[in-house]
Amino acid sequence: MALRTLASLGSLAGKRVIVRCDLNVPLRDGVIADDGRVRASLPTLNTLINAGARVVVCSHLGRPKGEPDPQYSLAPVAQRLSELLGKPVAFARDTVGESAHEAVAALADGDVAVLENLRFNAGETSKDDAERRAFAEQLADLGDALVSDGFGVVHRKQASVYDLAEILPSAAGLLIEAEVDVLDRLTENPERPYTVVLGGSKVSDKLGVIAHLLPRVNRLLIGGGMMFTFLAAQGHKVGASLLEQDQIDAVKGYLADAAERGVEIVLPVDAVVAASFSADADHVVADATALEDTPFGASGIGLDIGPRTAETFAGAIAGSRTVFWNGPMGVFEMAPFAAGTRAVAQALTEVDGLSVVGGGDSAAAVRQLGFTDDQFGHISTGGGASLEFLEGKKLPGLEVLGWA
């Protein structure tokens, strides 16, 4: 079955349309550090505004404990949304209370209001079906239809994502539609050569996606903190680098499976090793087979792929027709250890085909390193949701919209 799209809702003029966005942006001292997710919501919101809908935006931000917490208020997001839309955006000081009802009642056709953080109510994330449903019923009182457009939360069975979509006429927004289209292309008949680049800190976070993609890809490039578990699985010492000892046997299994399938797993041939986890720590480039043969000995920490590896990875990416990348190659937040991530990002911008940045830290990295969204085929807004989709898992927030 296909996703229900906006067209399935018919005319929305004059109707109160709740839009479940993912506006979970990073805040520093109350200021938005990266507004990528806010910008990603604009196509759907503008479509509804132009259709004459009365738009009620809801989202979570951070991990409050089911009660109001000022540091997680969506007020700065509402302000940024107003700037980006070029029109006033009302802000309700609560989610389903008096302020929310007043803000929604005051909307005219084409107006927009933002509700306060959904997770200020424990019912949003409750594991108790009845408690979650009760909160969804309260939300439903504020709208005539739901447009689900928060791809970053579709892997969660939460009140605004799942239950509300059962209660109100519901459809996917343009963002979710685009995300599903791209990720489906990564799993069903991708153009070849097909390369997947995986980084980030932990192998355990990526085991499912490795298992699901191995039969589908031509090559797998492994960087980031997870590379040290792969190197250890090959018998190499990794000093004080991040190592998941309990995953070594699983990694050995994947290496054997890849060899049997003819899938090329490309591991780093060198790494940047530092004396400590610090931006100003002494650091050197070492061969991947000799990470402890540095002035730092067994206490050295690998914090980035090395220059020869970056060049190899860039070449493999450039020669591909389809590339999916999830997870930075090193501690990109520190300038001395950002070169590997920058090289991979640059290579993705030059792919003659489909290049996909898989959300989360990867999306933050490309923006922090000075790349723009339009340099890539697609930047996903949902790291965890993207990975679960690529693992072949059922995502409740998509299933409730008709995806099967």
**225 annotated as a binding-site residue:** no
Consult the annotation and say whether 360 binds a ligand: yes
- Consult the annotation and say whether 244 binds a ligand: no
Q: Is 326 annotated as a binding residue?
A: no
Annotation says 143 is catalytic: no
- d(Cα 250, Cα 115) in Å, to the nearest integer? 45
Q: Which of 39, 384, 393, 402 is catalytic?
A: 384
| Among candidate residues 399, 343, 297, 374, the one with its CA nearest the CA of residue 1 | 399
- 54 in catalytic set: no
Contact, 23 vs 32, CB < 8 A? no
Q: Are 236 and 291 in contact (CB under 8 A)?
A: yes
Residue 235 assigned as binding residue = no
Query: Residue 69 has which token pair?
Result: 């917490």
Set 123, 239, 306, 360: catalytic member: 360
- Residue 4 is which amino acid? R
User: Is residue 54 within 8 Å of 108, Cβ to Cβ?
Assistant: yes
117 is in an annotated binding site: no
Backbone angles phi, psi at 398, to 5 degrees: -90, -40
Characterise 335 by phi-psi region: left (phi > 0), alpha (psi -120 to 50), beta (else).
alpha
Task: For residue 60, say whether it is annotated as part of any ligand binding site.
Answer: yes
Q: Any known ligand binding at 24?
A: yes
**How many residues comprise the chain?**
404
To the question of whether residue 206 is assigned a binding role by annotation, the answer is: yes
**361 assigned ligand-binding residue:** yes
* The token pair that represents 391 in the structure block: 């693992």
Amino acid at 114: V
Report the sign of the C-alpha dihedral through residues 371, 376, 381, 387, in that order: negative
Residue 132 catalytic? no
Active-site residue, from 39, 93, 185, 202: 202
Token look-up 């993207």 returns 386
* Residue 123 assigned ligand-binding role: no
155 annotated to a ligand binding site: no
Contact 401, 162 (CB under 8 A): no
Q: What is the Cα–Cα distance from 117 to 94, expressed in whole angstroms?
A: 8
Known catalytic residue at 384: yes
| Dist CA 7 CA 390 (whole Å) | 27
Q: Is 94 annotated as a binding residue?
A: no
Q: Is 308 annotated as a binding residue?
A: no
Is 61 marked as binding a ligand? Answer: yes
Q: Give me the catalytic one of 4, 15, 16, 37.
A: 37
Does residue 168 contact residue 194 with C-beta atoms inside 8 Å?
Answer: no
**Is there a binding annotation on residue 62?**
yes
Q: Is 63 annotated as a binding residue?
A: yes
Query: Which residues, 6 or more positions from 250, have their beta carbon under 8 angstroms from its beta carbon?
Result: 203, 207
Q: What residues act catalytically?
A: 37, 202, 360, 384
Query: Residues annotated in the binding site for ATP, as ranges?
Result: 206, 302, 333, 359-362
Q: Where is the binding site for substrate, in residues? A: 22-24, 37, 60-63, 119, 156
Binding residues: 22-24, 37, 60-63, 119, 156, 206, 302, 333, 359-362
Binding site for (2R)-3-phosphoglycerate: which residues?
37, 119, 156
